[in-house]
């Protein structure tokens, strides 16, 4: 069996109103999903995080030639070859391009063996993953947090037991937002706040002090993603756990932060860090330092399903929450690309089921993508 075709689909959808985080508001969301086909008719899907157009160009120019005509079974060799082709860009769009290919190859190989990706990775240790609502999101001024209470009520009605609102607008406003939500949801719902790289270390420390009464599980990305001194200052002066790593695209990027003691929780994104192959390298580093690790997820159903399979195989870590980590992130924006195969439902216990079906359990075809395709391309053997 060999790879005979790689298809790419650049996707985009508008938002009904601008929303996002303190660093930037989105008016639309973009994505790149990749379909790999073999001469046996098996198909795998992958996704590239963030820079979709640059990742697509790199796949076409450098990666397609390394994969076409080759057996999909040799995932490790393909990962090494692709990493050897990145040149100087070892943490950006090139690693995102590799991520899409690696995710799709795992999907194919698992389907070939008629097993789930979790089984391919060594076996699931859970069939349910605790989910958290990734939202609410910041709106425009004058009151960026104005929708939070209403939206959190909607999350609770959907059975979420943990919620991650966006913060970073202003330290005092963060404190009011987080403490108000704590009073709203009561003591048993987990709350985490995502700063999305919005602060300097001093501002992040000040914000954390205003949020202390909210009893947060973690504060996420308090400073810029490669600001190691800033992360160290935040970790030293903030009692709440510090999570990060979604924007780091390599094992070496995580190495520096972990060895320095900058992270309490690691959050690699499969669509950014090199797919399953890259994530597993980072997971080994987390194991060496006895740190919780869980996938960051913010994209389409492709990355969501892949991340659910990854979360199923990670060993449990008690990180201070009522439930053991890992958690799975559930994007709460109005995202049609997450719901392409139906809206994932949360159990009464706040969990998502892990599909025990071939691959990631994703039943997808190109026709379903049609309303959101802005560009497409094909590379063939």
Q: What is the mean pLDDT of residues 47-70?
A: 96
Q: What is the pLDDT of residue 245?
A: 96
Nearest to 217 by CA among 324, 350, 353, 346: 324
Q: What is the pLDDT of residue 50?
A: 84
* 265-266 vs 162-164, strand pairing mode: unpaired
Measure the CA angle with vertex 288, ends 287 and 289; round to 5°: 90
Q: Judge whether 267 and 257 are in contact, CB under 8 Å.
A: no
φ/ψ of 265, rounded to 5, equals: -135, 130
Q: Judge whether 249 and 90 are in contact, CB under 8 Å.
A: yes
Top-confidence residue, 50 or 143: 143
Q: What is the pTM of this model?
A: 0.97
pLDDT of 75-84, one tens digit each? 999 999 999 9
When pLDDT is cut at 50, 70 and 90, the band that residue 288 belongs to is very high
91 pLDDT higher than 90: no
Q: Cα separation of 31 and 299, whole Å?
A: 7
DSSP secondary structure code for residue 214 in this structure? G
Q: What is the pLDDT of residue 88?
A: 74
Top-confidence residue, 319 or 30: 30
Q: What is the pLDDT of residue 248?
A: 94
Mean pLDDT of the chain: 96
| Complete domains list, the chain, with CATH | 3-115+362-380 (3.30.390.10), 118-353 (3.20.20.120)
pLDDT of 213-271, one tens digit each? 999 999 999 999 999 999 999 999 999 999 999 999 989 999 999 999 999 999 999 99
Tracing tokens 């958690």 back to the chain, one arrives at: 327
Lowest mean pLDDT among 89-93, 151-155, 279-283: 89-93
Q: Judge whether 351 and 127 are in contact, CB under 8 Å.
A: no
90 pLDDT higher than 80: no
- Helical ranges in 59-189 per DSSP H: 64-67, 75-83, 93-112, 117-120, 148-157, 171-185
């Amino acid at each position: 069996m060999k790879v005979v075709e790689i298809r790419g689909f650049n996707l985009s959808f508008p938002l009904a109103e601008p929303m996002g985080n303190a660093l930037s508001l989105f008016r639309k969301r973009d994505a790149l999903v990749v379909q790999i086909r073999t001469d046996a008719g098996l198909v795998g899907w992958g996704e590239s995080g963030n820079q979709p157009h640059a990742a697509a160009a790199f796949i076409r120019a450098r990666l397609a030639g390394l994969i076409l005509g080759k057996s999909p079974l040799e995932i490790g060799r393909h990962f090494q070859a692709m990493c050897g082709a990145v040149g100087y860009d070892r943490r950006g769009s090139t690693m995102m391009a590799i991520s899409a290919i690696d995710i799709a190859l795992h999907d194919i190989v698992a389907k070939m063996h008629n097993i789930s990706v979790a089984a391919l990775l060594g076996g699931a240790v859970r069939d349910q993953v605790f989910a958290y609502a990734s939202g609410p999101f910041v709106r425009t001024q004058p009151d960026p947090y104005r929708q939070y209470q209403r939206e959190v009520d909607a999350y609770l009605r959907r059975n979420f037991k943990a919620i991650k609102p966006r913060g970073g607008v202003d330290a005092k406003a963060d404190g009011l937002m987080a403490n108000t939500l704590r009073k709203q949801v009561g003591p048993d719902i987990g709350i985490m706040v995502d700063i999305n790289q919005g602060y300097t270390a001093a501002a992040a420390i000040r914000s954390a002090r205003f949020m202390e009464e909210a009893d947060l599980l973690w504060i996420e990305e308090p400073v810029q993603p490669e600001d190691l001194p800033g992360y160290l200052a935040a970790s030293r002066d903030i009692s709440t756990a510090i999570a990060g790593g979604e924007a780091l695209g390599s094992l070496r990027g995580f190495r520096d932060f972990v060895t320095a003691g900058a992270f309490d929780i690691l959050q690699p994104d499969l669509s950014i860090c090199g797919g399953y192959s890259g994530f597993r390298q980072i997971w080994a580093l987390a194991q060496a330092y006895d740190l919780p690790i869980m996938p960051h997820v913010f994209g389409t159903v492709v990355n969501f399903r892949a991340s659910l399979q990854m979360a199923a195989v990670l060993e449990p870590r008690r990180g201070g929450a009522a439930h053991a980590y890992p958690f799975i992130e559930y994007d709460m924006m109005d995202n049609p690309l997450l719901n392409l195969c139906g809206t994932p439902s949360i159990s009464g216990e706040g969990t998502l089921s892990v599909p025990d079906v071939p691959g990631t359990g994703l039943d997808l075809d190109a026709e379903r993508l049609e309303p959101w395709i802005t560009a497409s391309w094909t590379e063939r053997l």
